[in-house]
A and B are shown apart, each in its own frame.
Chain A
Amino acid sequence: MKIRIKFAKYGVMKFIGHLDTMRFFQKAIRRAGIDVKYSEGFSPHQIMSFAAPLGVGVESCGEYMDIEVLSMTSTEDMKQALNRVMVKGIEILSVTPLPERAKNAMASVAAASYRIHMKEGGFPVTDLKTCIQGFYGQETIPYTKETKKSVRELDLKQGIYEMDADDEGGIRMLVNASSSGNIKPSMVFEKLCQYAGWEILPSACQVTRLETYADLANEGEMPRFVPLSEIESL
């Protein structure tokens, strides 16, 4: 039986990287006594799939992982059992059974929404809304992505589906998070700083992933994003 687990990761736990978060959950599932399914072979491991890796330093209230179990009483019991063995800064938000035909969490990811705010004070601008609208209103937002192997020119605009300021002084955006076109909020923020003439250290801002989405649209249609937890519609 496939199960989708939604969780939040915040506070000091933002310093725990993706692989260590997986290790944390493998041990947590054993502590919680969940009847999880293991792979075959000489060194069996828990069958577990994470939706989208979260960068170190980023908080989230919309993380997902799928596991497979051999038996369970109820999803509510499982949620409680897991929350009993969590640490401060990781909280299980929901546990939902997943239809057999559903794609796994990782394959489903199409987009993610983020919020960026200053850890102290606000962004150095009087009208954040107008500033963000101006930035997002540009025809193109060219970005040079450098990796160890290559330098690539991207247009971020293609992958930013929505972007706005909220009433609490934060910046919100919905961006492409699919494996082919993933956009990191830090890339967008770097361009925004250039546009607005801000000199802000990355560590002065807090990035929070708000939700992770699947796209229900058929090919050629306009995207139809739904949170990964809304499994009924998958």
Chain B
Amino acid sequence: MGKLALSDEILMQVEKPARYIGNEVNSVVKDKTRVSVRFAMCFPDVYEIGMSHLGIQILYSMLNEWDDVWCERVYSPWVDLDAIMRKQSIPLFGLESQEPVRDMDFLGITIQYEMCYTNILQILELSQIPLTARERGENMPIVIGGGPCTYNPEPIADFFDLFYIGEGETQYRPLLDWYLENKRLGGTREDFLHGAAKIPGIYVPQFYEEVYNEDGTIRGRKKLYEDIPDVIVKEIAKDVTNIPYPMNPVVPFIKVTQDRVTLEIQRGCIRGCRFCQAGQIYRPVRERDVDKLKEYALEMLKNTGHEEISLSSLSSSDYSKLDELLDFLLAECGERHTNISLPSLRIDSFSLDVMSKVQDVKKSSLTFAPEAGSQRLRNVINKGLTEEDILRGAALAFKGGWTRVKLYFMLGLPTETKEDILGIGDLSNKIAAAFFEAVPKDKRVNGKVQIVTSTSFFIPKPFTPFQWAAMCTKEEFLDKAHLTKQGIMSQLNQKSIKYNWHEADVSVLEGVLARGDRRVAEVIRKAYEKGCIFDAWSEYFKNELWMESFSECGVDIGFYTTRPRADDEIFPWDFLDCGVTREFLLREWRKAQEETVSPNCKKQCQGCGANRFGTGICYVETFDK
């Protein structure tokens, strides 16, 4: 057995040493002398979070299918080990080889949420790789960023050699081939990056500059090479049925967040909720073939030994063969003592029937995400869920034995009024009342109903119709949360309703990072140097250090959050093309203000622009079109 990067002494003093030893079932160990490319694939958060991410499993499996490539995994060392590694100058290592990341050819980092930005710097520093791309020497790994946050890469552009925009299945082979070719030709790092910048979907930030107006908004961009593209179009897998899928996912020893087989049934979402970034950037909707999914499910359960399988998609109920797939899984999984987990299902009689077969009704809870408290505001955000839908679904569920309901709302949405906020309490109350109406006294098993109402704060995201929207201040957010609470407390059934709200500080910061430009990079670096890390973990989030960093760098938070944007303002991310056009987003932004809803992709095409990829829902004749 290979030698571990960490001594027994260290492993015995840190929490959960299994995070750092590799050796898991289905992890891939290759002979390093027989590969030409060493790739470290990183999720910049703790092991249990990173190991739950499907995207890394897909890329890990795809890259390791290639004989000349060895892909390993890297996660953020938890704070206890972080301190030891800094003190003893131990370089961060890949889990499989236990060898330093800095000796590999590539370090790929998936960027799933803004609050992991300081962890990216942690990964680089512990790897002993200079934080900014310009400081890196010829023999340093090429640092690649990917994932949803790269749809506005500018706040972290300085830290990356290149970004891969879009779905990872398409351009890694050409990129690695060019890397090997450039090596053979004796080319430099600069030569590699220059060539890479011409590969579809690849963005090399150091070859571009942002130019600003006097008021701080963006005037335009300058390129350093004439032959590189002005606009980078996202990459997309046209045929999702015939792309690689990990049949042998790595099985962790310790319990991780998603300790199960994940079956991705489709990409994209037809719904077009106006606050939702995923609903735009993954367009068009592409379904996987149901027969292939059945095969995958059995194969992956066999190869992992997992006791549970979960369907993954943005809106599972919209998958056209859902009934067929679930019938199959119910039959197969029952025999195998396997659980089925069904996130993102619309609550109706079919889904309740399925759920009652796979979970203990008495113990589980049902989730609705109305997102806004009034029909008016739900029309603004294009959330096609009506009060009637919710009450009908809840009544069905209560009759079926469920007694717990979770409700998710957002505060601070564009055009929100006091009435919209008070509507949250009203709706929560009506659902509680629906229980007492639906279930006669003698049939109430647990005696009463439990409604948990949660609110998060709305954060405008790039490539959504709300990218123009002004965000609230922290004080406004907290006032809205208090008003929500008062609204709930004044309800008849308030004893059945529990209210939780999200932190406001983190939301404000996320707002800056989401729509920031290159000037925000300095703040991120400063906050990290002051000790910010694991910002997504409330116990480690240090708002005062962030605030200090903003003021020391002279960066105004309000410029990025509360400032209203003109229709024609150039955004930091406008050089990217996610398929959906700016004209479409602007049209939707105006419709939002007029409180007009847009039908979903199955009902009527809205001309978003994603049909140019020549695939998916845009070319499927649907029954109710």
Identify the A interface with B (CB < 8 A): 11-13, 15-17, 20, 23-24, 26-31, 33, 38, 42-44, 56-57, 85, 87-89, 119, 201-204
Contact A30 B24 (CB under 8 A): no
The answer to the question of B343 belonging to the interface, with a C-beta cut-off of 8 Å to chain A, is no
Least CB distance from B607 to A in Å reads 48
Task: State A119–B7 Cα separation when bound (angstroms).
Answer: 11
**Interchain CB contact (< 8 A) of B304 among A12, A31, A88, A119:** A31
Point out the residues of chain B lying under 8 angstroms from A24, CB to CB. 253
Point out the residues of chain A lying under 8 angstroms from B360, CB to CB. 42-43
Point out the residues of chain A lying under 8 angstroms from B17, CB to CB. 15, 56
Least CB distance from B20 to A in Å reads 8
Task: State A28–B253 Cα separation when bound (angstroms).
Answer: 11
Point out the residues of chain B lying under 8 angstroms from A87, CB to CB. 23-25
Contact A56 B12 (CB under 8 A): yes
Contact A203 B8 (CB under 8 A): yes
Task: State A119–B12 Cα separation when bound (angstroms).
Answer: 14
Task: State A38–B307 Cα separation when bound (angstroms).
Answer: 12
**Interchain CB contact (< 8 A) of A13 among B11, B23, B251, B337:** B23
Contact B337 A38 (CB under 8 A): yes
Contact B303 A88 (CB under 8 A): no
Contact B23 A88 (CB under 8 A): yes
For B24, the closest partner residue in chain A by CB is: A87
Task: State A20–B17 Cα separation when bound (angstroms).
Answer: 12
For A57, the closest partner residue in chain B by CB is: B12
Which 9 pairs across A and B sit closest by C-beta, in order of nearness? A27-B305, A30-B305, A203-B9, A31-B305, A15-B17, A12-B21, A11-B1, A42-B360, A20-B253
Contact B302 A23 (CB under 8 A): no
Q: Contacts A30-B307, A44-B337 given: A23-B8 contact, CB under 8 Å?
A: no
Q: Contacts A26-B305, A31-B302, A57-B12 given: A20-B23 contact, CB under 8 Å?
A: no
The answer to the question of B418 belonging to the interface, with a C-beta cut-off of 8 Å to chain A, is no
Point out the residues of chain A lying under 8 angstroms from B336, CB to CB. 30
For A119, the closest partner residue in chain B by CB is: B8
Q: Contacts A20-B18, A56-B12, A56-B17 given: A28-B305 contact, CB under 8 Å?
A: yes
The answer to the question of B222 belonging to the interface, with a C-beta cut-off of 8 Å to chain A, is no
The answer to the question of B306 belonging to the interface, with a C-beta cut-off of 8 Å to chain A, is yes
Point out the residues of chain B lying under 8 angstroms from A201, CB to CB. 9
For B17, the closest partner residue in chain A by CB is: A15
Contact A202 B12 (CB under 8 A): yes
Least CB distance from B93 to A in Å reads 13
Given contacts A28-B305, A87-B24, 10 further A-B contacts (CB under 8 A): A11-B1, A15-B11, A15-B21, A23-B255, A27-B251, A27-B307, A57-B8, A57-B11, A88-B23, A203-B12
Chain B, 284-326, CB within 8 A of any chain A CB: 301-307
Task: State A11–B25 Cα separation when bound (angstroms).
Answer: 15
Point out the residues of chain B lying under 8 angstroms from A12, CB to CB. 1, 4, 21-23
Least CB distance from B154 to A in Å reads 41
Task: State A38–B337 Cα separation when bound (angstroms).
Answer: 8
Task: State A16–B24 Cα separation when bound (angstroms).
Answer: 11
Point out the residues of chain B lying under 8 angstroms from A28, CB to CB. 25, 305
Point out the residues of chain A lying under 8 angstroms from B24, CB to CB. 87
Least CB distance from A98 to B in Å reads 22
Least CB distance from B25 to A in Å reads 6
For B338, the closest partner residue in chain A by CB is: A30
Q: Determine the interface band of chain B, counting residues with CB < 8 A from chain A.
A: 20 to 34
For A30, the closest partner residue in chain B by CB is: B305
The answer to the question of B254 belonging to the interface, with a C-beta cut-off of 8 Å to chain A, is yes
Task: State A222–B215 Cα separation when bound (angstroms).
Answer: 92
Chain B, 557-607, CB within 8 A of any chain A CB: none
Contact A88 B18 (CB under 8 A): no
Point out the residues of chain B lying under 8 angstroms from A202, CB to CB. 12
Least CB distance from B62 to A in Å reads 22
**Interchain CB contact (< 8 A) of A27 among B9, B22, B25:** B25
For A203, the closest partner residue in chain B by CB is: B9
Least CB distance from B6 to A in Å reads 10
Bitwise interface map of B from 423 to 439 toward A, beta carbon under 8 Å scored 1, else 0: 00000000000000000
Point out the residues of chain A lying under 8 angstroms from B337, CB to CB. 38, 44
Point out the residues of chain B lying under 8 angstroms from A119, CB to CB. 8
Point out the residues of chain A lying under 8 angstroms from B303, CB to CB. 31
Task: State A44–B306 Cα separation when bound (angstroms).
Answer: 14
Task: State A31–B298 Cα separation when bound (angstroms).
Answer: 11
Contact B305 A29 (CB under 8 A): yes
Point out the residues of chain B lying under 8 angstroms from A29, CB to CB. 305
Contact B12 A27 (CB under 8 A): no
Contact A16 B253 (CB under 8 A): yes
Least CB distance from A34 to B in Å reads 10
Task: State A21–B253 Cα separation when bound (angstroms).
Answer: 8
For A46, the closest partner residue in chain B by CB is: B337
Q: Contacts A15-B17, A42-B360 given: A27-B304 contact, CB under 8 Å?
A: yes
Q: Contacts A43-B360, A202-B12, A203-B8 given: A89-B305 contact, CB under 8 Å?
A: no
Task: State A27–B308 Cα separation when bound (angstroms).
Answer: 11
For A90, the closest partner residue in chain B by CB is: B23
Least CB distance from A36 to B in Å reads 9
Point out the residues of chain A lying under 8 angstroms from B1, CB to CB. 11-12, 88-89
Taking each of A12, A17, A43, A204, which has the highest tally of chain B beta carbons within 10 Å of its own beta carbon?
Answer: A12
Task: State A203–B23 Cα separation when bound (angstroms).
Answer: 21
For A14, the closest partner residue in chain B by CB is: B8
For A32, the closest partner residue in chain B by CB is: B305
For A39, the closest partner residue in chain B by CB is: B337
Point out the residues of chain B lying under 8 angstroms from A42, CB to CB. 360
Task: State A90–B418 Cα separation when bound (angstroms).
Answer: 62
Taking each of B8, B11, B22, B304, which has the highest tally of chain A beta carbons within 10 Å of its own beta carbon?
Answer: B8
Contact A27 B8 (CB under 8 A): no
Least CB distance from B487 to A in Å reads 37
**Interchain CB contact (< 8 A) of A85 among B18, B25, B301:** B25
Task: State A30–B18 Cα separation when bound (angstroms).
Answer: 22
Contact B23 A89 (CB under 8 A): yes
Bitwise interface map of B from 121 to 154 toward A, beta carbon under 8 Å scored 1, else 0: 0000000000000000000000000000000000
For B3, the closest partner residue in chain A by CB is: A12
Least CB distance from A199 to B in Å reads 15
Point out the residues of chain A lying under 8 angstroms from B253, CB to CB. 16, 20, 23-24
Point out the residues of chain A lying under 8 angstroms from B7, CB to CB. 203
6 contacts between A and B (CB under 8 A): A12-B21, A15-B17, A23-B255, A88-B23, A203-B9, A204-B9
Task: State A33–B305 Cα separation when bound (angstroms).
Answer: 9
Chain B, 442-469, CB within 8 A of any chain A CB: none
For B21, the closest partner residue in chain A by CB is: A12
Least CB distance from A92 to B in Å reads 15
Task: State A57–B339 Cα separation when bound (angstroms).
Answer: 33
Point out the residues of chain A lying under 8 angstroms from B21, CB to CB. 12, 15
Least CB distance from B309 to A in Å reads 12
For A28, the closest partner residue in chain B by CB is: B305
